[in-house]
Structure 1
Amino acid sequence: MIGTAELRKDREIYGNGREEIGKVRYCPKQNRSVSRRDFLKSSAAATALAAMLPAQVKRACAKSKSIDEFVNYDALGMAELIKTGEISQIEAVDITIRRIEAIEPLINAITTPTFERAYEKAETISKNSTFAGMPILIKDMIDVGGVRRTDGSRMMLTNIPKENVKYIDGIEAAGMNIIGMTNVPEFAQLGIATNNTAFGLTKNPWDLSKSTLGSSGGAGAAVASGMVPLAHGTDGGGSNRLPPCTQGVFGIKPSKARMLPGEAGGAHGPFKTNQAICRTVRDSAALFSHTEDPDGPFPAIGLVERPSKTRLKIGYAASIKGGAKVEYAVRSAQENVVELIKNLGHEVVEIDIPVTQDEFFINFNGAFLGQFGALTERAKAITGMSAAQSGLLDPFTVNLIEYGASITPEQQAAGLAYLSTVPNLYAKTFEQVDLILSPVMPLVSLPGDTLTPTTKVNEATLAILENNLGYTASVNVSGHCAMSVPLNWDPESGMPIGSMFQAATGNDRMLYELAFELEAARPWKDRWAPYSIKNIPV
């Protein structure tokens, strides 16, 4: 097993007992005695591997020790090692910290590490719990008691909630140990990039020049790079589907109000749901079973463990009316999935997505862009100045507030009236088919600087956002469930291309059963990004 002294040797020690690797800081646990296991593989193998990797990876390898012995384990697999005594709960924390220290300087996925909290919690977690003390990263848009929640904003850097929301209680009851918070766009508004002036840009482990998308971009990058096999995410417009799509991992948006409340006071967000981004379907399904709301509108589905023998009628929508042109590689990937699901015995028919993108966003923006004026009042309360003068908000957010201020009450009323019809539009479609298959987004990927915290908000900016949220956002308004499944990689760029499956409200089990079937037919767990623990010794 890993000896604490050996784990931390060769690291630069700073004053007052704090260590720093990149921008991640934590306090080492004193007098921690952990027996040693054969954790390291040969340094010669690591050196040989490093010679074949990109330049930034080579630099990381030069400072590192060995390939991670546990690279191929998912969260449940690691939990089993804890339960059988092959590793301890403290070691699980040590292993995760080692990974974070190796990868984080390249990826920039974490806003607040909670390493000491994780050490303190580790041995209090029952080994009989499902995850037995496995570390998890939490998206920085939910209340964890005693842990800073920033929503990616300088305005929130001193915000420390006093108590967990119920969803976090469910995560901890499942035996997961919170080890940090992941980066998000400021108040999730940048949408297609996880970037802010408080913490900077999170980079895509498949190509550091590409966007992680958002707003669960930090969570997706943490999983794709192997920091953790499972990370929490929220989805209010595509946030648990867009980052997995472009980072080659699995993400799901549950039905509205299916999960334990993620808002203070026990409320459910109007569109936002909580769930995980994972390397394996079984990890996601296991966490799902612990975080369903027993007081919600649906009977609990419990633990889904395998595919269904039922064959489905799946409607394939190649594009969305009023949306951007779908890139050839994305269309080819979805057509490939059509053939896959046909070969699995499912019926496929062509259908239309029941909303038109341009009409949807005219009304969505009319209904909700005006709400960001509340941030102006918060900035004034803190500084006595306007949002723009306060320096507490990114220029993009300030522009969004100003843009939203031009929306009239009539536009807002018309927008709300239209959005109230969206659930029924989808319900009618699900009377014809069991599931909808479509792209997650029309493009394979986007440059990381497509939008930045200083981008001006105008019609062109909104068009970029809308084109890449066109397939996902209406799902949140409808309230039904959807998932992004990593079934293809672009042969030219090597980037992942996800496929989105949607099911009627409450039919979350159907999605999980199909996900298990697709995972068995075309496994993705062992497809690793270049900038990941598979390639970078830790």
Structure 2
Amino acid sequence: MRNVDYEKLDGLALADLLARKEVSSAELMTCAIDLARSRGAALNAISYERYDESLVIARTWTPRGPFGGIPFLLKDTAVAHVRLPTSSGSRLLRDTTYARNATLADRFESAGLIPFARTTVPEFCMAATTEAACNGGPTLNPWDPTRSPGGSSGGAAAAVACGIVPVAHGSDGGGSIRIPAAACGVYGLKVSRGRLPMGPFRGEGWGGLASDGVLSRSVRDTAAALDATCGYEPGSPYAAPPAPDSYLDLIKRAPGPLRIAVWRQAWNDIPVAAECVAAVDHAVELLRAAGHELIDSAPPELDYDALVQSHADMLSANIVVSVDTRLGLTGKALQDDDLEPVMRNGYDYGKTISTSQYIGAVGRFHAVGRILDAYMQDYDLLLTPALTQLPPKLGYLSMREGTYLDFRRKIARYGTFAAIFNATGQPAASLPALWTESGLPVAIQFVGRFGREDLVLQASAQIEQVQPWAHRIARPASQA
């Protein structure tokens, strides 16, 4: 198979070719590796490459699951895999290895997804951009190399957008799937809390804020991946409501007329760029044409600054745990160059967090969940801008200078519509709705009630049907 043919197809289309024996897993892996070596390198999106051994595995792969045996990328984060070390974007955590796979890694492989490398992330996955010193420089947005690809799943979003793989692993603790999906023009779903397993090494991430998932070029690939990987893991502290028999089957038919709330403004008068509002307006037109009821609304009243502070407190406490655990294992003291400056400040700040602050943060997340749950009782879905501005220039969210709290507040003005739904645990998806004259994607966000990924996916598929985006492949200038 030629690269130009490979890059045009989503995961299920590649799986269909495999099932009809028109192509082999090894041929697909060869294409993915070739594109990773060219486009992935040009964008600095790939880490921990295991190309040769993955090609050997692909040659002897037994077809399985909905994807048969297609190339796949794992994010450089806490989903453990015996063949792929991790760094979580940190020099301190570089080359962390595992004796066994995470439950989700095993489910990915059972679905027919063959991991052959990791994708780049910011340090500790705690930024809305992907500019880690650990990676030797920033990861670039495939549509404009002067801009951020988002974060923390920035490498994954860039890899999907430029055709290296049609679907890649991501995780989301404050918008880390949806922000890069928006910045790179691909589809990104954050599932309901408890929908996907996080074990066996941990029960939750960031006090229940974080969840894993995928980024993809088609809604159906995300639906198929969710079908293959969702389900309660024994011992998990959370459980989502029962899933339907098949999300993939559901998106093949339109939902009944939905009542959809529409937000165009943010808390605290945070500015929302005209392009982002225009994307929402365009989606409103498409959804009305599909028979849905769209109701202009305003975000419910809540203390947004307090939520941002609680999110910062939770993340800083997790910085301390990550750093101190590593130092305890190595027996070394923390060195000046172990952490980037903002994360070092976050570590120092985390050392000051009291038990009452930590418990207060969890309590605030739960309170926000109650506020949004009460608000959503009047609606089937919520439509918002995915971001408050276009993808910023590289360096705008740098970890090289400033304080940790200022850094978190800056992110909160960019991903304003993202982290709140990590607090509530609701499903939310980012999808491209418009493209600027210069070729940048502008995304919207669908949010469902807790456990209602079905409606989020169905509404996303309706937008995709009338305005598809999977054919848009970003080709770095040097690799076009």
TM-score, normalising length from structure 2?
0.92
Matching residue's letter, 2:12: L
Deviations 1:45-97 (A, max 9, x none): xxxxxxxxxxxxxxxxxxxxxx6232311111112112222211111111111
Verify: 1:273 aligned to 2:216, yes or no: no
Q: How does 1:77-88 map to 2 (within 5 A)?
A: 77-88=13-24
Stretch deviating more after TM superposition (417-426 or 291-300): 291-300
- C-alpha spacing 1:408/1:498, structure 2 compared with 1 (3 Å): same
CA distance in 2, matches of 1:147, 1:367: 28
> What is the match of residue 394 of structure 1?
340
* Secondary structure of residue in 2 paired with 1:234: strand
Q: Aligned ranges for residues 431-446 of structure 1 at < 5 Å?
A: 431-446=377-392
Post-superposition offset of 1:123: 3.8
Residues 373, 323 of structure 1: CA spacing in aligned structure 2 closer, same or farther, 3 A cutoff? farther
Verify: 1:495 aligned to 2:440, yes or no.
Answer: yes
Contact 1:379 1:392 in 2 (8 A): no
SS in 2 for 1:525: coil
Measured in 2, the distance between the counterparts of 1:184 and 1:101 equals 18
Q: CA deviation at 1:401?
A: 1.1
Question: Could you tell me whether the CA contact under 8 Å between 1:376 and 1:386 is conserved in 2?
Answer: no
User: Which digits, 9 at most, give the CA deviation of each residue in 1:340-378, with x for residues without a partner?
Assistant: 111111101122223443232133334543342224424
Q: 2:141 aligns with which of 197, 204, 210?
A: 204
Change (3 A) 1:413 1:88: closer
Return the offset for 1:151: 0.8
Rounded Cα–Cα distance in structure 2 between residues aligned with 1:461 and 1:487 = 29
Match of 1:240 in 2: 177
- Distance in 2 (CA, whole Å) between partners of 1:115 and 1:502 is 37
Aligned amino acid, residue 46 of structure 2: I
Question: Structure 2 unaligned runs (5+)?
Answer: 234-238
Aligned partner of 2:402 among 449, 453, 456: 456
User: 1:183 is matched with which residue?
Assistant: 120
**Can you list the C-alpha shifts for 1:427-446, whole angstroms capped at 9, x where unaligned?**
11110111111011100110
Between stretches 108-117 and 263-272, larger displacement belongs to 263-272
Map Cα deviations across residues 231-280 of structure 1 (whole Å, 9 max, x no partner): 11011111110001011110000100111x23333624322111110111
Equivalent-residue separation in structure 2 for 1:524 and 1:277 (angstroms): 14
1:155-166 pair list within 5 angstroms: 155-166=92-103
TM-score of the two chains, using structure 1 as the length reference: 0.82
Gaps of 5+ in 1: 2-38, 40-66
Deviation at 1:130, TM superposition (A): 1.7
Report what 1:473 is aligned to: 419
Give the alignment of 1:104-183 within 5 angstroms: 104-127=40-63, 129-141=65-77, 142-183=79-120
The AA in structure 2 aligned to 1:415 is A
For the residue of structure 2 that corresponds to 1:177, the secondary structure is: strand
Whether the 8 Å contact between 2:128 and 2:175 is mirrored in structure 1 is no
Task: Give, in angstroms, the shift of residue 407 of structure 1.
Answer: 3.8
User: Does 1:424 pair with 2:367?
Assistant: no
Equivalent pairs counted in the alignment come to 467
Is 1:222 paired with 2:159? yes
Tell me if structure 1 keeps the 8 A contact 2:64–2:111: no
Deviation by residue 1:289-337 (Cα, 9 ceiling, x = unmatched): 0001145442232242313240100000112221520011111121111
Instruction: Mark the structure with the bigger radius of gyration.
Output: 1
Q: Which moved more, 1:461-470 or 1:478-487?
A: 461-470
CA contact 2:8–2:163 (8 Å) conserved in 1? no
Could you tell me whether the CA contact under 8 Å between 1:320 and 1:356 is conserved in 2?
no
Matches within 5 A, 1:13-162: 39=2, 68-127=4-63, 129-141=65-77, 142-162=79-99
Instruction: Summarize the alignment of residues 364-383 of structure 1 with structure 2, pairs less than 5 Å apart.
Output: 364-378=311-325, 380-381=327-328
Say if 1:137 and 1:181, in contact at 8 Å, map to a contact too: yes
Quick check: 1:143–1:164 contact (8 Å CA) kept in 2? Answer: yes
Q: Post-superposition shift, 1:386?
A: 4.5
Instruction: Report percent identity of matched pairs.
Output: 27
Distance 2:175 2:84 in 1: 25
Given that residues 262 and 297 in structure 2 are in contact (C-alpha distance below 8 angstroms), is that contact kept between their aligned partners in structure 1? Answer: yes
Report the Cα offset of residue 136 of structure 1: 0.4
Q: Measured at CA, do residues 367 and 525 of structure 1 come closer, stay the same or move farther in structure 2, by a change above 3 Å?
A: closer
**RMSD of aligned Cα (Å):** 2.1
Structure 2 match to 1:31: none
